Structure 1
């Protein structure tokens, strides 16, 4: 085997071994066995919330174990593939086998690197699902359109990874785009992963809403919070909230529901307002809105208890002062993270959900800052 290839395979094996050690495979297998035992109980679904949590945790941990074991098996098979290439008698056959091995080695390097980044997520809430809120900021109708583009980017990213997304609320702007949107991403380490996306995202382009074709700069803010779990407790007295109901609406104010099923909850002491309109039932929308309110209040509680938790929501500065990424579509094509210096020359692919490079660079950068 080529010495450079052998050295690279050894390096990949060592990196994967570190991942296996941090993941603690024996403990992970033990947790899976325990969850499988709980999932097999005949009374599991007597408590739907608890059952859903058990089955979700089981699925996530099984997926995590399969991913690590699959990478190890593929890496072992790759060494065999290179050996087969050397033993091939025909030059053409050897070249084909070597080419196949090279493609697999590139894929493995990328996937092992991504998994290595996961081991850097060790915060108190990194394992949790993520509650993402996107808001249009400075830039008028272009900013509203930009906020909708960002939402699509994250939904496409989740779709690429087969991560379930639950949209709680979308507030549409009058002319185009959205004022705000709130959705939940369910995935292993969703909060830890997406938390590095928090901040102000800046778009520079020729405005499609300017009949003179001038360049426009617009801003949208992304907030990422860890989703509440059953063990979290936030006491919300009925006297502290006001509940309003209204009809759900679509783009441009178009009515999409003929009943007052959408729910808006205002927390009077803090002024926090949340709403949900994705469910058909008012009861379901109220329950979902209360969950979102719990997330917001739990975050406020954490910030009051520990000043360092401010990092979860950023400094809340102005559009210019809190920028974390710039997307330029004109006069050149570039997406650049202002913290990590990571950049891509194809904005189209980024806006279509290919943001893993930015996410991984952000996680590594955050670890160096810590």
Structure 2
């Protein structure tokens, strides 16, 4: 095995060992055993919220342990691949070495992605994520872009097996959405997706302009941690005004015949949240209250730490405040303006290929915190 290969494998060994130490593989296995016992208890589902929390944590822990063990097994196998290549001759040796190099490169990428997970050590990072998307400047193009972003995040979640629960979608009149609120329901989703918050900018030939002119539009992404009972966010009943109305779909059409949609207004702060995607008024009220609690938690954190943008995006979706650009014309590129990470195939990004941007964002945030 050549010296450069040996040095690279030694570096991968160091990185993976650090990942295993931070994850505490033995403790992770013990926690999985504990969660499996809880999940096997027939009375667990008497408390639906706790049951979902237990099963979600169990699924995530099992996947994490399985991934770490798989990386260790693959790293142990790579030297064998090079030994087998050395035993071959001619074209067979070249092909075997190419396969070994390919696996080593793939393994490096996967270990580095796993390493990013160990950087999620913030107080709220282990929480599920609540994502709000709002159209900004740009008219109908902005509404269409907001819907494109929602699809992008839902596709990303689906690719990774994360459950998405949509709480509210407010459709624009001509096309797209004015806003949407949804939860990504797995551990560490807040820590993972929080680097996506900010203003996103789209440049393209507008499909809504009959003269085929280039249009710049904006949408705002806000990511909040889902509130848990330990957060002590109590909302007096008199502080909330409850309005009910009929759910609506694209173009303003009514999607049911009962007043099941719920709008909550927090009177002291003026915060308004809506939920219309559940079938019953009670379910919508519960979901809307979760969103309101998350927003009040954000406000509480901002006041306590005097950091106005620590949890929420908090900006205006317009020029001068963007964190990522999606350019479809006159060239093809998606670029994060904080990390400089870029991809020259916007369609794959809009189809949910976000891992590179997320990993770069988490590393950027870690460096910013250290500074």
TM bucket normalised to smaller: over 0.9
Cα-to-partner distance string for 1:11-51 (whole Å, 9 max, x where unaligned): 11111111111111122122222222222333222222222
- Secondary structure of residue in 2 paired with 1:194: helix
Cα-to-partner distance string for 1:320-344 (whole Å, 9 max, x where unaligned): 2321011111111111111111111
Equivalent positions of 1:2-41 (< 5 A) are: 2-41=2-41
- Secondary structure of residue in 2 paired with 1:248: coil
Deviation at 1:301, TM superposition (A): 1.4
d(CA) in 2 for partners of 1:22, 1:143: 42
- Secondary structure of residue in 2 paired with 1:269: coil
Cα-to-partner distance string for 1:339-369 (whole Å, 9 max, x where unaligned): 1111111111111111111111111111111
Aligned 8 A contact 1:163 1:187 in 2:
yes
| Corresponding position of 1:302 | 301
| Corresponding position of 1:181 | 180
Deviation at 1:101, TM superposition (A): 2.2
d(CA) in 2 for partners of 1:329, 1:154: 19
Deviation at 1:202, TM superposition (A): 0.7
d(CA) in 2 for partners of 1:227, 1:177: 26
Pick which of 111-120 and 34-43 moved more: 34-43
- Secondary structure of residue in 2 paired with 1:43: helix
d(CA) in 2 for partners of 1:51, 1:225: 22
Equivalent positions of 1:253-332 (< 5 A) are: 253-308=252-307, 310-317=309-316, 319-332=318-331
- Secondary structure of residue in 2 paired with 1:312: coil
TM-score (norm 1): 0.96
Aligned 8 A contact 1:246 1:262 in 2:
yes
Aligned 8 A contact 2:221 2:313 in 1:
no
Deviation at 1:138, TM superposition (A): 0.4
- Secondary structure of residue in 1 paired with 2:241: strand
d(CA) in 2 for partners of 1:329, 1:194: 24
Deviation at 1:172, TM superposition (A): 0.2
d(CA) in 2 for partners of 1:47, 1:195: 29
| Corresponding position of 1:117 | 116
Deviation at 1:282, TM superposition (A): 1.5
| Corresponding position of 1:56 | 56
Deviation at 1:70, TM superposition (A): 0.9
Aligned 8 A contact 1:146 1:220 in 2:
yes
Cα-to-partner distance string for 1:121-162 (whole Å, 9 max, x where unaligned): 111011111100000000111110111111111111111111
- Secondary structure of residue in 1 paired with 2:217: strand
Deviation at 1:54, TM superposition (A): 1.4
Aligned 8 A contact 1:324 1:338 in 2:
yes
Deviation at 1:230, TM superposition (A): 2.7
Q: How many residues align?
A: 369
Aligned 8 A contact 1:315 1:322 in 2:
no
Change (3 A) 1:163 1:318: closer
d(CA) in 2 for partners of 1:258, 1:181: 22
Question: Does residue 201 in structure 1 map to residue 214 in structure 2?
Answer: no
| Corresponding position of 2:97 | 98
| Corresponding position of 2:241 | 242
Pick which of 60-69 and 135-144 moved more: 60-69
- Secondary structure of residue in 2 paired with 1:239: helix
- Secondary structure of residue in 1 paired with 2:309: helix
Deviation at 1:309, TM superposition (A): 6.3
Deviation at 1:258, TM superposition (A): 2.0
> CA RMSD, aligned part only?
1.5
Change (3 A) 1:132 1:16: same
- Secondary structure of residue in 1 paired with 2:61: helix
Unpaired segments of 5 or more residues in structure 1? none
- Secondary structure of residue in 1 paired with 2:56: helix
Change (3 A) 1:315 1:257: closer
d(CA) in 2 for partners of 1:309, 1:20: 35
d(CA) in 2 for partners of 1:242, 1:51: 31
Question: Does residue 45 in structure 1 map to residue 75 in structure 2?
Answer: no
Aligned 8 A contact 2:200 2:317 in 1:
no
Question: Does residue 225 in structure 1 map to residue 224 in structure 2?
Answer: yes
